[in-house]
Each structure stands twice: as structure tokens, then as C-alpha cells.
Structure 1
Amino acid sequence: MKYFAGSLLITLLFSTFSFTLQAQEVKQDNQHLFDNFTYRQGNAYRTASGKPGPEYWQNAADYNLEVSLDDKNHTVSGSVTINYTNNSPETLDFIWLYLEQNRFTEDSRGTLTTPVQGSRYSGDVEGGYNLNNVSAKTATGVSSKYIITDTRMQLWLDKPLAANGGEVEIKMDFKFKVPVEGMDRMGRLEVKDGTIYAIAQWYPRVAVFDDVVGWNTDPYLGAGEFYCEYGNFDVKITAPAYQTVVCSGVLQNPKDVLTKEQQDRWKKAEKSDKTVYIIKPEEVGKPAAQTKAGGTLTWHFKMENTRDVAWAASKAFIWDAAKMNLGNGKTGLAQSVYPKESNGPKAWSRSTEFTKASVEFYSNNYFPYPYHNAINVAASVGGMEYPGVSFCHYQSFEGDLWGVTDHEFGHNWFPMIVGSNERRYPWMDEGFNIFINHYSTKAFNNGEFPTRSSSPRSLIGYLTSETREGIDTYPDVANPRNLAYTAYYKPAAGLYLLREYIVGHERFDNAFKSYIETWAYKHPQPNDFFNHFENVVGEDLAWFWKGWFYGNGNIDLGIVDVKPFKGNSLITVENKGQIPMPVQLQVIYADDSKEEVKLPVEIWQRGNSWTHLLKSSKEVKRVVLDPNKILPDVNVLNDAWNKL
């Protein structure tokens, strides 16, 4: 018995060893391409299905802001009161705030990490905050202890702020000089009729405290954008009476700041699908555009459940507006303000038309637009978004103006509604936004303008570059020449591949819309998107997330051979790239009839070569891989087979 058992064991071991050798000679184990690559399990805060968990929480911050614009000295000064609620399960000893105007100083980290030759994110260095009367009041007392480090303030409390609903009232006075060069996100522009002020990142605001890293205190350097809590805003802006002021939110006192004629035009615009002037070009700088001859006016705005507000002011503004149809009987008001230099039928005279079309498309196709106003501001800024307000370059026209307007207002969905962390994961807002811009542009005016995000094949030059970087590269780390690809175009192409090639329109649209609805006004992480998308479409897509979003490899599929086999045909395909993909083939027979063949991605799990039995007695004349030319295949020379 011992001999028999021993002989059997030796035989089994030898057989297994021989089979393993044979398998290694014939096949390559590709399981590492398909395994999960991050910690994907759920917890009480974020579920494995990619939804907020039963104990998900996020803190809230409501703001009362009262400021004045001094257009002689180009300063903004005033006060902020922040009512901050700690909904987290832990007590907080201190509160971190962002002081983003401190970026515009000589010794800021952003200034000191800007290349000598400059960049898009160069900024003035004569700015920064002057702060006074800083206090934090809780139920137990008041504290004025704080430490400022670059663009951040650590405000200590008298006693730890209670978990699960503890509240603190933070107050301070602030003043800063509006930069001319505001890192292409804000600033001021001189035009013939006055100065245009584009005001953003303008008030001290609370950093996000979340369940992933705790306090998010990454410094404001340049390319990295923002991560903000949600809350309600009450904003009062006092400016010289000749200034026109627009702001995120709804104007509360139109009778105090608009002439009777302007109020009537406003009411007309709210019912008109065509653009209506509120301030006509010929009225700019004239008494007809002013409520009173001298002194100041205070413009009062309110906005609910938003992560930020921005505003603009100028005495040079032409102002027009039109009704937005947002679905389910809801309407809003698209508006544009711009100087005479931007006026014209091929330029900013179409801005409100563009704004209206963009917001209506996204509202009706993805998620209802939550704000009443969508305001496009002509400024020196190339293009920058804030809730309900966009800054676009005043010299843009025709297709460029459509493209930048559509892109900036698309950001109201990513990251204004879906509140991702732009500073760490710009692809979750820029890439997603470029993706929806593609479909909005196709829909606008029967395709009047070409899409900014063309076929993924247009990325091949970048994908094969030795200096390419992955999507997961932080924006402030990425080579400036690569940022457009890592944050914008490669992630957008990834979503395009999912919709147009991998899972199809219906399943993709279900998952994408569900993701927006699930994480509206919340803070999703990359894993939340991956998990939620997989659970809705019903596919394990780890191979795609790993290869496309967290890798630097490429797609290279090819056709090796086509030969007859027992009255049918054998088609052999290969994967020479680092990212496996499903295979789509078009078979063209000798009689010119065609047949489509689709092979699942799982054919690559056990190796890089696969032979498919084509059950047809017809003679094959030609086989084409990816006939719709969707894949960014880095070697198209092996994508077709022709019978000699």
C-alpha cells in the first residue's frame, strides 16, 4: 500500500510538472492583467457597490460674505462668517482653511515652484491676504489662535468640536489686491470702457475633512484645482454705482440695483428662447445703464447647496440673457457679460445662445441643472469654471467660443454637482467633462462645430511618446505638456471606449447616470466610480481600470492568420500590447457579403494568441479588426488580413 501510494504520488507530480511545462510553452498566464489592483472592499462609509454607505458623512459649511470692491486700488475687502458643522464621527481639535489668495506672493510654494520661463499657472506676486479679527466660537468658548502656512490656515478651537453635529462659527475680516495675472483662473483686464474684474478663490474657506485622508491640506500650487464642502451662501457685494456685478446665485434685490428698463428686460429674457439685451452695447457707460449717478450699490445674492461662488464686475459690460429649458417644467436664465471688444455675431453675441444650449443638453441628458443662473463672463481668463459662473477669454469667437463655453459649463456636473477632489484626481472632473462635451458638441446646431475630443486614435502620438505619463499622475507633478492628456483627453477617451466599444450605449448610460445621481453633492473617490460602474453594468473591468487609468501600457491587437478548416475558417488574433481588449472583427467574403464577429476580453486571460472558429463555408476575402476605427491601437499595420 505504501508503494502504491508513493508511486501514484510520483506519477501525479510528474504529470503535473509535464503539463505545466507544456502550458508555459504554449500559453502565457495573463491573470495579472485581470486581477483587482486597488483595495476595492466596501465599508460603513463607502460600499463595495460604489454607493455612500449607511454611515457615510460629510461636513458642511455655510458662508455669509460682505465685501466691497475698490476699483481705484483694485482691492476687495470685507468679512466672512462661516457656520461649520462637524458631521464626522470624531471630535476636531482644529479647523483647516484655505487662503488661496496667498498663492500670489513672492514666497508662496506656488511661486517658488513655477519654472523661471513661466507657465499657464504663473501669477502676480504682490497679493495675498491681510487678515484681522479672526475668531472661532463654539458652544464652550472663543478662540483666536491660528497658524498660517502658505495657502492654509490652521485655526485652533478652545475645546474639541463635538462629533456628529458639533458647530463652530468662524469669523474674520480680509482684504487682498486683485491680481492682473491670476493663474488663468481669475484676474483683471483693462478694456476701452473700464476694468473687468473676474473674482474667484476670493474668500477664506474651509478645507474638506473626509473619511479617506482626514483633512485635505494639499497646498494650492498651480495646476491642481479645488476640493470644497457644500453649503449655503449669502453674498453682498458693494461696488461703485456705475459697476455691473454678476455672481453665482440668485439676485435678491434687483429693484435696488437695476433700472426699471433693465428689470423689464430681465423679465422678458426669463420668458424668451432668444437672447434679450439687459444692457445694450450703446448703453455701456451711459446714464441709461446706471441706477443712480454716484456713490455705491450693494448687490445681494443667495445660492443654496453649492461648493463655491464667484463673481465679476465692470462698467464695460454689455449684458444679455435668455431662458433655459431645464426639463420637468423647470427654467433658468442663461446670461453673458462682455465688453464691446467682444461684441459681434461671430463672437460673444452668441455667448448666451451657447450657454443656453450647453446647460440644456447636460440638464436633459445627465442630471437636472440645480441652479437658476448660468453666467458667462468675458475676461482675460482662458477658461475657468465655478458654480453657475464661467470665465472665458474675451477674444474667443465661433468654434473656440463654443468649445470653451461648453466645457466650462459642463463642469457644473463635474465637479460642482459630483464633488470629486480636483486637486488629486483631475481626471474625475476634466476627463469626465471632456467626454460629455463630445456629445454636447455633436448635438449643438446639428454639429455646427467639430468636437474637441475626437477619436481615441488621435491620442496615439502621445500614447507612444517616451515622455508620456499616466492618468493617475497628480496635476502639479505632471509635465505641463502632458497635463492635457493625463487629466483631459486620455480619461475622456477611456469613457468613450467604454461606451462605444466595450459595454455599449445602454449599459454605459445607465451606469454613468446612476453614478451622477448617486454621488450628487457628495465626495466620490476613484474606487467609488470603479465599483459603482461595474455593479451597474455587471462587468469586472479591473483589466481596463488597471491598464488605461492606472498604467502606461498600450493597446496592440492584430490578425495573425486566416485559413480554411474542415469547411469553415480559423481566424487567429494576437495581443501584442499591455492592455487586453475585446475583439471586434468584420469578415468580408468573396461574394462581398459581410459578417461581424465579437470576441470577449476573456480570450486573453490564458495567453496572447487566440484562434476563433468561423462557422461559414464561404470563402473569406478580407478580415478587418476594429472596423469602426475606435481603438487607439498603436500598430494599425496588423489590423487587416487580405487573401492573396
Structure 2
Amino acid sequence: MNKTLSCIGMALFLLAAPSVMLLQAQESKYDYKEAFDPFFYTTNGNEYRTASGMPGPKYWQNAVDYKISARLNDQTNEITATVTLEYTNNSPDQLDFIWLQLDQNMFSKEGRGRLIVPLTKSRYGDARSDFDGGYDIKSVKFGTGKEAEHLITDTRMQVFLPEPLAPNGGKTTITIDYSYIVPTHGADRTGVLETQNGKIFAIAQWFPRVAVYDDILGWNVQPYTGPGEFYLEFGDYEVDITAPANHIVVLGGELLNPNEVYTAEQVKRLEQARKSDETVMIRSPQEVTLPDSRPQGKKELTWKFRLEKAHDVAWASSPAFVLDGAKIDLPSGKSALALSAYPVESHGGNAWERSTEYVKASVEFYSNLLMEYPYPVAVNVAADIGGMEYPAIVFCSYKSKAAGLWGVTDHEFGHIWFPMIVGSNERLHAWMDEGFNTFINDLSTAAFNGGEYYRPMGDANRLAQALTRPDLEPVMSTPQNMQERNIGILAYFKPGFGLTLLRNEILGPERFDRAFKAYLERWAYKHPTPDDFFRTIENVAGENLNWFWRGWFKYNWRFDQGIRNVVYADNDPKKGVLITIDNLEKLPMPVVVDITTKSGETHRVKLPVEIWERNTSWTFSFPSTEEVVAVQLDPDRVYPDHNPDNNRWEAQ
């Protein structure tokens, strides 16, 4: 049919009035057989993961609970600790050994992550640094007290079990005594900041953590080298932190003994903050240097915390903390406590004094949009870290202010939903947390304070120049397999823009929002794969999107539609106009065209992506009754067309 229409169009052109112009045909790279190949998925659904994107009737995942007692020496920057973990094997497999992650070993001189840091500037380390970190594992024992045979390889430790761990609920307990020196710059995720009133310790990846055993890869033993973040099992945490008495310790969890670690006045202010929608100062900038702003008479204090249903835990400690807080209102009627801890250098000038306001707004927005915030506190810590998230606590740059502080705070707390609730594999699929989070951040920023910091994403044609550069790796590369300079595009902006495009232009907000929320609800506190996401969106929204997943996520395909020709039917403007469009690059998209007639009226035509299922060009008719003076493809510039020069035709 399209071939016939093209022939008719050419014949009509030969008879057309001089005001109708044929544009020079361009060679197309488009292959509709490849773009719409129906075999996108490489596996069928099974009893663990269904073809519709849901966990299957026999879906399983293992679990681990932790008890940790740690002591911070703020003079030597050393943490000494004991962790006891109870591991539950819910898999159908018998396990002969357990793998644990030892992320701090990246910072030893022999660490793979250290050895692959380039001499040029890198977020993940300094190749010239003399620091030699890593764990000092003093003992590994089973619950019986028996020494455990173990083997340490870079950032992983394999613990060999004395007898196989039974499937479907078998349990084992392991206790590890260890210590390590906190790196000053720990791959921009953990570290030590010197301030005028003392050090700020941002402590993360600080204890041996059990690796995930799943139905996809078995043991996930990818080493930690910096770019890839985390993939961990869910469980409960009981944590005791002993620190110098002049320190304030904050952790992503419920503080169990506030009366023992705060002054009476601070306990009173904490309770006020729990009930206040406005920020309450718990320890003011003026009080930081006053001895009586900390309990007196002891050299150390032990802070006791509990965190439930999480896959990690982090904390911060400092004598320099200003502390404030406010109530977070949750949809169920419950509340949580927003806290901000920062040095006096970060206070003032539209900076960290607004942090708690930002935390409250961000958490409340996502709780209403997605799913209720699950933790008792939400803590924002000013540190020498660009931005990093952990359950119920995030680290943001102490230098941030205004839009920068809102943006990093909102982004890090958006991570509570992806990947703290939806526990995807960040080591392999960074886009499944960073990209999803970038997408929801745009919605949150538009809503915050009447759009105080909102800047629309802008011209997608221009964005396409960066998002689909030919030298980019595909989004579905692992972060370790991307050039470091490309991670911001491939893990954050390109998948985030892709979801915006899918929501606003391809599916529409109603269908997309329902499908996206279904994905979150289906996979909350579970471990989804990319296919689980793709299948859920398709099944709930009712749309075959393999062409989109393939071109935007699996491959780095470009998009370019162009107007080839515009001719009148029977050479008569009153009988309508025939418009031919080419798909010139490998990625197809729906078509949006504005047609402007001589009287100044503009008419919009929308065509579905299916016109490209078996065509590289498409001719359609528009029932005009007067001369057409302009035809514009993608008039709102919302599609990633990297070559907009061929998107417009004007009568001569």
C-alpha cells in the first residue's frame, strides 16, 4: 500500500503547482524487520518470574539479619567492630559456602578498584594516593564458636560451611571480628571531612555483607570497583555505635536510647521536631562549640539503633554537627522524622538550614506518588561526598546550596524507592535505580514549592545530540563497562528521559503511571531484573514495546524522521494534501505533525509507531481545503530527533 501511495505522490508532484516542493530523498538506515523483531525476550516466564512481569508462584530470595557493635576512634580514623549475621537460605538449592562483600578492600593498594583507577581525575579514587586501606579480618566463626574456613579474594570473602546449608529455610550464623581505617575519600561514597569544629565521618560499606544468591546468576560475585553500586539481601539490623562523647551519631534507623546520648534539652527538642511541620533546631550553630550541648562526664557514648526490612545500613558521626528536624506526614496518617546534620560552614545563604524542609517535601511527595516511606527517620548528612544514598540516610555535599542542595537531596531520597525498596542489581543495571530516580525527580522538582527550582527538560531534539551520540555504550551496559564520563548520561539521563518519553508521548500518563506503580508494588523488597520491568510495563499498559526497549535501552539507536514531499491531490489544494515522511535512522517513533494552511490555522495529526512496522517511509493524506504553507514534524520538540533540519517544509 505504501509503495502505491508513494507512486501516486510522485505522479501528483509532477503535476503540482510551483508552491509545492519535493525535498531531496535521504538514504535510510532503518530496518523494520530488526526494529520490530518479535523475539526481544531471550527466556520465557517460569515459576520464579512470570511472563507478565510478576514474581512467580515459587519466587524466592534469601535473607540475612545483622547485629553489629562498632567503635570509632576519631584520632586514628579506625573502626573496630564485630558483626554477627544470621543467614537464611530460602532457595531450592543446597549451599556449600557463602559469599560476602568486603567493599573496603577496594581501598587497599592491591584492590582491583584501586588498580584500575586512571591517572586522570576519577570519582572513584586517586591512583597516586599513598592510602592503604581495606579490612583487617581478625576472626571468622560460626555460631558454635568454631573457626570458619574462609578465602578472601579482593572485595569478596568465601566462607566454607562445615556442612551444607539446607534449602527452603536452612539457617546459619557467622560472627566476624574486624577493623579498618576509614578512607578520606572512599570513592565518593564514604569518607572523612575536616571542618573547623572537627571531623565528619560518613560511614558506609563498613561491614562484611552477604552477597545475593538468586535464580538469575546464583551467587552474585562481581567485585566492587567503584562505579557499580550494590546488590544485597533484605533483613533487620541491630547496631551499637560507640563514639567519643562529644560526637553526635546519626544512623538510618530508629534511635533506641535518646536519653542516654542527648542532653535533656535536646531530647525535648527532638520530641518537638517529631510533631512540627516547621524545622526545629535541636543543636544550633551557636551551640556546637558549647560543652554543655553534649552529655558530660563520659569519654564515650554508645548509640543504639534498629532498622528493619532494609538491605544495608550507614551512619555518620561528628562533634561538628548542627542538628535540626521536622515531622514527615505520611499518607496512612503515620509520621517519620526528618533530620539534617551539618557543620556551621554549611549554615546560611539558602543552604543547609533548608535541608530538613527539602527532606520532608521529597519524602512526602514520593510517599504519595509511589508507596509510603517505610523507615522511622530520614537523615540528610553534609559530607565531603557529592551525593550517596543508603536506607533512611543520605550523604550530600556540604558545599551544596539552593537548587543544588534541593536537587541532590531529592535525588538521594528518591533512591529510597529505587533501589532501597525495589532491590534491583545496581552492580549490573545502574539504570534501573539511577534512571528511574532521575525520572521521578523531575516530577518532584516540578511540584516542590510551586516549582521553585524547576527547569523543564527542554528541547528533546537538542538533548538527542548528547543522548544518542554514536560513541556511547548502550544503556544496558554495566556501569563498569561504560566510560566514566558516560555514566551520567547512560545510567541517569538517557533512561530517565526514556521513561518521560514513554509516559508523556508513547503510552500517556494514565497508562504509564498505573504500570509503573504496579512494577513498584510487585517488586517491593524483592529483586527484579530488566525483563521483569519491561514485561510489567507491557502487560499492565497493554502495549508491545519491544521496539522501544531494543532501540533505547539494549542498543544506542538514533532517531531521525524527515519530511520527503508535500503534494496536493489532483494538484488541487481544495482536495487535500499528501505528505510523505521518511524514517531515516534505526529507531522508530510515533509521528506528530502540525499542518498550517494559508488562512493561518494549524491542524495536528498523530500517527502511531505501527506505521513503521513494515515501512521505511509513509504517505498520509490530510483533508485540507486550502493551500498548505508549512508542515512541521515534532512541533513540540519532544522526540529525540538528532537531525531536526529535515523536520520542516515550507511553501516557496
Report if aligned partners of 2:330, 2:367 keep a CA contact under 8 Å in 1. yes
Classify the secondary structure of the residue corresponding to 1:481: helix
Note if contact 2:30-2:586 (Cα within 8 Å) is conserved in structure 1. Answer: no
Q: State the Cα distance separating 1:477 from its structure 2 match.
A: 1.9
Deviation per CA, 1:477-522: give whole Å up to 9, x if none: 2111111111111111110110111111111101111111111100
Can you list the C-alpha shifts for 1:413-439, whole angstroms capped at 9, x where unaligned?
A: 111011001110000001111111111
One-letter amino acid matched to 1:31 = K
Please tell me whether residue 203 in structure 1 is matched to residue 207 in structure 2: yes
Cα 1:457–1:405 change in 2 (3 A) is: farther
Matches within 5 A, 1:447-486: 447-451=451-455, 454-463=458-467, 465-486=469-490
CA distance in 2, matches of 1:233, 1:454: 43
Q: 2:594 aligns with which of 561, 586, 589?
A: 586
Q: Is the 8 A contact 1:559 1:574 kept in 2?
A: yes
Aligned partner (choices 622, 626, 631) of residue 614 of structure 1: 622
Say which of 231, 237, 256 aligns to 1:227. 231
C-alpha deviation, 1:442, in angstroms: 0.9
Q: Select the residue among 495, 504, 508 that pairs with 1:504.
A: 508
Q: CA deviation at 1:565?
A: 1.5
State the Cα deviation string for residues 381-419 of structure 1 (Å, max 9, x = none). Answer: 011110111101101111111111111111111110110
- Secondary structure class of the residue paired with 2:517: helix
* Match of residue 90 from structure 1: 93
Give the aligned residue type for 1:501.
Answer: E
Change (3 A) 1:40 1:600: farther
- Counterpart of 2:527, as a letter, is H
Distance 1:556 1:136, change over 3 A: same
Q: How far apart, in 1, do the equivalents of 2:428 and 2:30 lie?
A: 36
- In structure 2, relative to structure 1, the CA distance for the partners of 1:431 and 1:46 (3 Å cut) is same
What SS does the corresponding residue of 1:308 show, helix, strand or coil? coil
Amino acid at match of 1:420: S
On the 8 A contact 1:355/1:405 being kept in 2, the answer is yes
String of CA shifts for 1:42-98, please: whole Å, max 9, x gaps: 011000000100010000000000101111111111100001000000100000000
Find out whether 1:283 has 2:287 as its counterpart.
yes
1:366-445 equivalences in 2 (<5 Å): 366-445=370-449
**After the TM superposition, which parts of structure 1 deviate over 3 Å for at least 4 consecutive aligned residues?**
25-29, 450-458, 463-466
Query: Which residue matches 1:133?
Result: 139
The one-letter code of the counterpart of 2:256 is Q
Contact 1:40/1:527, CA 8 A, preserved across alignment: no
Q: 1:541 to 1:349 in 2, by over 3 A?
A: same
Further displaced range: 125-134 or 306-315: 125-134
Specify the alignment match of 1:153 in structure 2: 157
Decide which of 33, 36, 50 is 2:35's aligned counterpart.
33
* Residue identity (%): 52
Gaps of 5+ in 1: 1-24
Cα contact 1:62–1:83 (8 A) shared by 2 = yes
Spell out, residue by residue over 1:524-546, the C-alpha distance to the aligned partner (whole angstroms, 9 max, x if none).
00000000000011110000000
Residue type of the alignment partner of 1:53: G
Change (3 A) 1:526 1:464: closer
Q: Distance in 2 between matches of 1:464 and 1:408?
A: 26
**Greater shift in the superposed pair: 593-602 or 214-223:** 593-602
2:457, 2:57 → 1: CA distance?
Answer: 38
Distance 1:261 1:593, change over 3 A: same
CA contact (8 A) 1:181 1:188 kept: yes
Aligned residue for 2:317, secondary structure, equals strand
* AA of the residue aligned to 2:44: Q
Counterpart of 1:441 in 2: which secondary structure?
helix
Give the Cα–Cα distance (whole angstroms) in 2 for the partners of residues 294 and 142 of structure 1: 36
How much does 1:183 deviate?
Answer: 0.7
**Would the aligned equivalents of 2:461 and 2:643 in 1 still touch at CA under 8 Å?**
no
Residue aligned with 2:177, SS: strand
Whether the aligned pair in 1 keeps the contact of 2:273 and 2:280 (CA below 8 Å) is yes
User: Which one of 70, 73, 78 corresponds to residue 76 of structure 2?
Assistant: 73
Q: CA separation in 1, counterparts of 2:29 and 2:300?
A: 79
- How far, CA to CA, are the matches of 2:614 and 2:537 in structure 1? 26
Cα drift, residue 552 of structure 1: 1.5
CA change 1:338–1:572 in 2 (3 A) is same
2: CA distance, partners of 1:456 / 1:291: 56
Question: CA offset at residue 464 of structure 1?
Answer: 5.3
The amino acid across from 2:595 in the alignment is: V
Q: Which moved more, 1:609-618 or 1:176-185?
A: 609-618
Task: Give the match's secondary structure for 2:480.
Answer: coil
CA distance in structure 1 between the aligned counterparts of 2:79 and 2:108, rounded to whole angstroms: 16
Conserved in 1, the CA contact under 8 Å of 2:28 and 2:584? no
Displacement of 1:240: 1.1
Which SS does the other structure have where 2:501 is aligned? helix
Measured after TM superposition, the shift of residue 345 of structure 1 is: 4.0
Q: Is the 8 A contact 1:459 1:490 kept in 2?
A: no
Aligned mates of 1:614, 1:534 — CA distance in 2: 32
Q: What are the within-5 Å matches in structure 2 for residues 241-320 of structure 1?
A: 241-320=245-324
Q: Tell me if structure 1 keeps the 8 A contact 2:64–2:235.
A: yes
- Where do residues 173-192 of structure 1 align in structure 2 (5 Å cutoff)? 173-192=177-196
| 2:633 aligned partner | 625
Which amino acid letter does the alignment assign opposite residue 348 of structure 2? G
| Structure 2 residue identity aligned to 1:291 | P
Displacement of 1:458 after TM fit? Answer: 4.2
Asked if the contact 2:52/2:535 (under 8 Å) is kept, the reply is yes
Aligned partners of 2:409 and 2:133: how far apart in 1?
Answer: 29
Distance 1:344 1:243 in 2: 22
Distance 1:383-1:27 versus aligned 2 partners, 3 A rule = closer
Match of 1:8 in 2: none
1:60 and 2:63 are equivalent in the alignment: yes
TM-superposed CA distance for 1:293, in Å, is: 3.5
SS of residue matched to 2:593:
strand
Indicate conservation of the 8 Å contact 1:142/1:157, yes or no.
Answer: no
5+ residue gaps, structure 2, are 1-26
Paired residues of 1:625 and 1:639 also in contact (CA < 8 A): yes
Describe the shift of the 1:420–1:455 C-alpha distance in structure 2 as closer, same or farther (beyond 3 A): farther
1:189-245 deviations in whole A, cap 9, x for unaligned?
110000000000000010000000000000001111110100000011011111000
Mapped contact 1:137–1:143 kept (Cα < 8 A): no
Q: Does the C-alpha gap of structure 1 residues 405 and 622 become closer, same or farther in structure 2, counting only changes over 3 Å?
A: same
Given residue 35 of structure 2, which amino acid in structure 1 is its aligned partner? Answer: L
